[in-house]
Amino acid sequence: MSMSGRLALFSIVFIFLLEITFLVPSLTFYRFNRLQERVDDAALVAEALLSSPNTELDTEQSEALLESAKILDLAIVRADRRERLLLPKNTFTISKTVNLTEMSIFQIMLNGLSCLVSNPNGVMLVVGQPVNGYSKIETSVEEAPICKDVRIFGFNLLLISMIISLLAGLILFVAVSRQFVRPILFLTKAITSYQGSKNPQIKVEARSKIKEFYNAEVSLGKMQKRISSAMSQKERLANLGESVAKIQHDLRNMLSTAHMVADNLEDSHDPKVRKSAPRLVRAIDRAIELSSQTLEYGRVGERKARIEAVDLWETIAEIVEEETDLALSRSVDLTFECANDLFANADKSFTRRIIQNLVRNARQILEEDRGGVVHISAVESDDTIHISVSDNGPGMSDVAMDGLFQPFKGSSRVGGTGLGLSISKELSELMHGRLELTSSTSNGTAFVLILPK
């Protein structure tokens, strides 16, 4: 069922229930009023009899008066005596007595409901206070006609309540549909059409006169515009990325060849060539590293982590040995601290690449500066292992801090791309760990890799 249909149905049901709450009291007080009418009619008959000079009535006249007042007998209760004015035509038995002058509201409602839950067919003795000066009137009435009138009144009232509920529900349905449902359907249709479009260029025009819906339409239009632009840019970047990957692959192969040629230049007899060869080798190394990181960044999400027990002491020791051999300056020292039996529940290849990337970044920054110490430590806590890589270098720049872990933004060294940190963070998350920057000041920088134990 649509939202409009549900709203109409709920409106009809709620209004009908509200009408029912007034229906029951109306029925019960209707019965009370009908009995009071019998008392008042009996009082009029009594007044006519007492004011007539001839109080002796024949049987036919007495029956006519009783029938006109719809009563069976009539008596006046004064302070000192009870006087019967009209006698019944036939004898009958009183089934119950109803004293209208002593009934509480609860008793009025309870007696009224008796007509709805049962089918009484007896005679009631009704005692009431009329509007004239008589103290009390006692009269007997048949209960069946009273209950019949109550049921007819209840049926008519129920029918009117249903008609009112239907009309109110219909009016509310039309009003809400025009004011609220139509704008919502318009927004829903716009979102659905935009989602199912192969070339989503649909824009929502704000046209609602209701402020909240107007703002929603404006926001949806802006969002669609941004998404369309982003999707178009994404498609261009995907095509560009595919082309760059092919170029980088070929470029890396060409640079590897150039690297071998540059290595041979160091054996040249020309002193100028031998002097320039190391700088050429370093430039080619940086170009190869950039090509490799660019290709690796595009493949990070393609494989899943192979979780196993990783010997951290062995992994860190190998990294320190390799980076020490690659260090261009002996002013950079690499130290580590790790227990011999410390294992992490991680991917061995991922863990090695993350730690080596952090160590290499720190080493290269220190080589560009005044030298220093790169320290790696691995400690265990309750259910995790913290691997910290720290240095005493100049710290990260504001630009690098702002673009931390973002590709091509978060690099502190000259010629860096920031791809290493971005790749490392993604690799750590694939192992259900995390990579964080713990500190970066003028006294040094520290990263921590947190892995499951």
Q: Which residues pair with 139 in a beta bridge?
A: 126
| 392: Cβ contacts below 8 Å, ≥ 6 apart | 366, 372, 373, 443, 444
The Cα–Cα gap between 73 and 170 comes to 52
Q: Which residues pair with 436 in a beta bridge?
A: 448
CB 391 within 8 A of CB 373: yes
DSSP conformational letter for 204: P
Question: What's residue 3's pLDDT?
Answer: 64
CA distances from 293 to 189, 252, 320, 414 (A): 44, 11, 21, 16
Mean pLDDT of 186-197: 69
Mean pLDDT of 280-298: 64
Which of 46-60, 120-134, 349-363, 439-453 shows the lowest per-residue confidence on average (mean pLDDT)? Answer: 46-60
Question: What's residue 88's pLDDT?
Answer: 75
Which pLDDT tens digit goes with each residue over 322-372?
Answer: 888 777 666 889 999 999 989 999 998 889 989 988 998 898 888 887 788
The Cα–Cα gap between 287 and 63 comes to 125
419/35: higher pLDDT:
35
The Cα–Cα gap between 156 and 31 comes to 15
332-337 and 372-380 strand pairing: parallel
Mean pLDDT of 60-89: 77
Element (H, E) at 291: helix 271-299
Cβ–Cβ contacts within 10 Å for residue 67, how many?
Answer: 11
The answer, yes or no, to whether residue 139 has pLDDT greater than 70, is: yes
The answer, yes or no, to whether residue 301 has pLDDT greater than 60, is: no
Q: Which amino acid is at 40?
A: D
Q: What is the mean pLDDT of the chain?
A: 78
Task: Report the range out of 182-196, 227-241, 319-333, 421-435 with the highest average pLDDT.
Answer: 421-435
Residues in the chain: 453
Question: What's residue 379's pLDDT?
Answer: 94
Question: What's residue 63's pLDDT?
Answer: 73
The answer, yes or no, to whether residue 415 has pLDDT greater than 80, is: no
Which of 34-43, 172-181, 240-249, 302-311 shows the lowest per-residue confidence on average (mean pLDDT)? Answer: 240-249
The answer, yes or no, to whether residue 384 has pLDDT greater than 90, is: yes
The answer, yes or no, to whether residue 320 has pLDDT greater than 70, is: yes
The Cα–Cα gap between 202 and 196 comes to 11
| 403: Cβ contacts below 8 Å, ≥ 6 apart | 409, 410, 418
**pLDDT over 70, % of the chain:** 72
Mean pLDDT of 415-435: 82
47, 251, 216: which is closest to 131 by C-alpha? 47
Question: What's residue 57's pLDDT?
Answer: 60
| 377: Cβ contacts below 8 Å, ≥ 6 apart | 336, 337, 338, 387, 388, 390
CB 284 within 8 A of CB 258: yes
Question: What's residue 409's pLDDT?
Answer: 61
Helices 271-299 and 211-265, axial angle in degrees (round to 10): 150
Mean pLDDT of 214-223: 74
Q: Binning pLDDT at 50, 70 and 90, where does residue 410 land?
A: low
Q: Where are the alpha helices (DSSP H) in 327-393?
A: 348-368
The answer, yes or no, to whether residue 259 has pLDDT greater than 70, is: no
Mean pLDDT of 129-149: 81
Residue 416 gets the label, from left (phi > 0), alpha (psi -120 to 50) or beta, of beta
